[in-house]
Structure 1
Amino acid sequence: MGNIRCPFTHLLILDFETTSEEANCDYPFEVIQFSVVVLDVKTNTILENVSFNKYVRPVINPILSKHCADFTGIAQESLDSAATFREVYNQFVNWLNTNGFAERQFAVVCDSRQDMWRIAQYQFKLINATLPSFFRQYVSLWRAFEAEQDRSGRKELLEKTYIGKMAEYYGLDTTGRAHDSLNDCKTIATIVQKMLATGATIHINEVLVCSAVWRKRPAEIAPNWREDFREAGRIYERVMPLVVKPLRNGEYTTRDYGLCKYCKTGPEVCGKKHRQYPKELYEQERRTIVYARTAGYY
């Protein structure tokens, strides 16, 4: 079986679904589904009876766009009766405590940096709260998978999504509706199982920090960034207070838990204010950046 760096007892496979608008990346997205599946590290077993799955009622855009409803399969009625993100997050913390998942003893796994860096960071800003410690270091499974391909060999992969490509690589059947957070969590957990069973190393490979050298250079703004998710990501990287720092195997220890690699402080300080405020970005972009203004970034 593969190796898991750092003394984790469990891996918490986490996935979010968010509101979206077709062909518009300048959109104040909100979490509408919050799901977690648990993998026992010692036995490499998915705990079938221990999971977390809640719909979340959006506040800024309470009515789903047709694109979002079609994409996620989530009914408007499910959100109308759901709790807000702050309430659901508190339920998640209670769920952690009820199931004995103590901080520093579990690691969060997501399919890529988008869940923690972009979605979670933005959602906590919307409710005027700092990103909690256990979301600030995580396993980006896509990054781990890329490293694993270098070890075990690459294949031509036809699927379009990260989850789809990883499942295709290992010959795994995906069940349930795509873009349902709980189904995606189950698929990701199965991929982790397979990776560990075939000798892969799973470790904390990304952390969120408040400063990066490359952010000191002037931002280059593509005219079509609102229609191009990749180009929009370059804007998000400037606007978000925290940015991703990749880690090599062995660079993270539990002493680093929740602490920024640059300012050496925890969530009560780091990320609360923008250390690299992108003033030149707001001056260059004559049209209002809607998602930044909505979150109060400027």
Structure 2
Amino acid sequence: MHAYSDEIKEKIRTDTIESQNEDKTVEEENTDSDEANGAADGETKEPKEREYSHPVYKQIAFLNGKINSYSKAELIKNLKMLKLDTDGSRSVLAKRLKTFYKKTMLNVSGIQEKNGSSKIRVLFDFYVIIDYEATCELLRNSDFKQEIIEFPAVLLNCQKGEVEDEFRSYCRPVLNPLLTDFCMELTGITQNDVDTAPLFTEVLTSFEEWLQKKKLGTKYSFAIVTDGPWDMGHFLKNQCALLNIEFPTYCKYWINIRKTFSNFYNTGKLPLSTMIQLIGREFQGRAHSGLDDARNIAFIVQRLLKDGARIIFNEKLVEGNARRRDDGNPFFSAPVHHTEFKAIQGKYRPNFPQKKSSKI
């Protein structure tokens, strides 16, 4: 446990006593789902397998309810007293305060190893944050095949919470080599950028050489992070099918940070620009620039790590578009449940591909 000041210790003691003296029983189902049941943030919830009968969980549940009633000014006041960051929206601040109390009270009660929720939440050595840009038209056309034209990646050291490196290359499209005016205006990518760029297969090889140079997938584990299911489940999948190359094994599972953010901070699914605002930052760079978007996603990952989120695989590739929506359109991904993640985390390192991709 951290060496807290006497003032902070007294506040924790007072709030704990108040929760113990609360007369009404607080049922676990009425608490924030991520606070008292030990479920991993960003995962699809499954039925609980363990009972949390220790009195500390009732105290945590009571404090969660109390924090839910705080105004933003009250949350900031409490966070300042505890020497915690005060940047972000009300929902982000409330989650930060709840996480602090949960971790502290489990630590004091001596049961953190029992439920595992207070162990180090970093399960990968690195995150590789990707946000592709692709060819596009103003009016959607089912016959128009999108191709990746910007391949950016930001490398985030999970233990340090710091960005260590970046990768970026434009890609030359082959089906629609001339970019539309809409595409150039949206992404900031020029015709000259793609005309002088290597083909996607060459860029993918360069990217994998960059991963190998960083010893990712060999010495260090890593996970792909995206904003939504589209980058892996749509753009990369379609690009590999178009070129008749194997879909990279290390991309078959990924972290949809939009889903992690929503589950952890108890918000709805939000676009990147709104998530950035909620953590108390301004969007840096140009929206729909792949590299700038990836950098801003990295800010969100850093904030989630600081606030104690468990950032793990929560989506996977849907093979063959087997699952379809009510409107007939395919799902781009399928959820990764807690039991599946537990089964793969010991083996998935993640199975780095051979230097040459084999053909389908």
Pair in the same fold by TM > 0.5: yes
- Map 1:54-93 onto structure 2 (within 5 A): 54-93=169-208
Tell me the distance in 2 between the aligned counterparts of 1:169 and 1:244. 26
Partner of 2:249: 133
2:340 partner letter: E
Is contact 2:233-2:318 (8 Å) kept? no
The residue that corresponds to 2:345 in the other structure is 254
Relative to structure 1, is the Cα distance of residues 214 and 81 closer, same or farther in structure 2, using a 3 angstrom cutoff? Answer: closer
Amino acid paired to 1:198: D
Secondary structure class of the residue paired with 1:235 = coil
* Structure having greater relative contact order (Cα 8 Å, sep ≥ 6): 1
Larger Rg: 2
SS in 2 for 1:12: strand
State how 1:222-233 maps to structure 2 within 5 Å.
Answer: none
For residue 128 of structure 2, give the secondary structure of its aligned residue in structure 1.
strand
Q: Secondary structure at the match of 1:107?
A: strand
Q: What 5-or-longer segments of structure 2 have no aligned partner?
A: 1-99, 101-117, 351-356
Query: Following superposition of structure 1 onto structure 2, how do residues 178-189 of structure 1 map, counting pairs within 5 Å?
Result: 178-189=287-298
Task: Structure 1: state its 5+ residue gaps.
Answer: 222-233, 238-242, 260-266, 273-298
Q: Runs of 4 or more off by more than 6 Å in structure 1?
A: 1-4
Equivalent position amino acid for 1:40 in 2: N
* Cα offsets for 1:222-252 (capped at 9, x unmatched): xxxxxxxxxxxx5244xxxxx5220234531
RMSD after superposition = 2.8
1:33: Cα distance to partner? 0.2
How far, CA to CA, are the matches of 1:134 and 1:6 in structure 2?
18
In terms of fraction of residues, the more helix-rich structure is 2
Closer, same or farther: CA 76–4 of 1 in aligned 2, 3 Å: farther
Pairing 1:121–2:215 present: no
- Say if 1:196 and 1:110 are closer, same or farther in 2 by CA, change over 3 A: same
Alignment of 1:17 with 2:108, yes or no, is: no
For residues 213 and 61 of structure 1, the distance between their equivalents in structure 2, rounded to whole angstroms, comes to 28
Q: When the two structures are superposed, what TM-score results if normalisation uses the length of structure 2? A: 0.59
Picking from 245, 262, 268, the partner of 2:334 is 245
- Whether the 8 Å contact between 1:10 and 1:38 is mirrored in structure 2 is yes
Out of 154, 162, 181, the residue aligned to residue 45 of structure 1 is 162
- Give the C-alpha shift of residue 6 in structure 1: 7.1
- Measured against aligned partners, the alpha-carbon deviations of 1:70-114 in whole angstroms (never above 9, x if no partner) come to 100111011100000001001111111112212571000001110
Asked if 1:162 corresponds to 2:271, the answer is: yes
Match of 1:110 among 226, 233, 241: 226
Q: 2:151 aligns with which of 19, 34, 37?
A: 34
Contact persistence 1:3–1:196 (CA under 8 A): no
1:16-37 CA-to-partner distances (Å, cap 9, x unmatched) read 0000011214220000000000
Cα distance between partner residues in 2 of 1:162 and 1:3: 30
Q: What letter is aligned with 1:108?
A: I
Residue aligning to 1:289: none
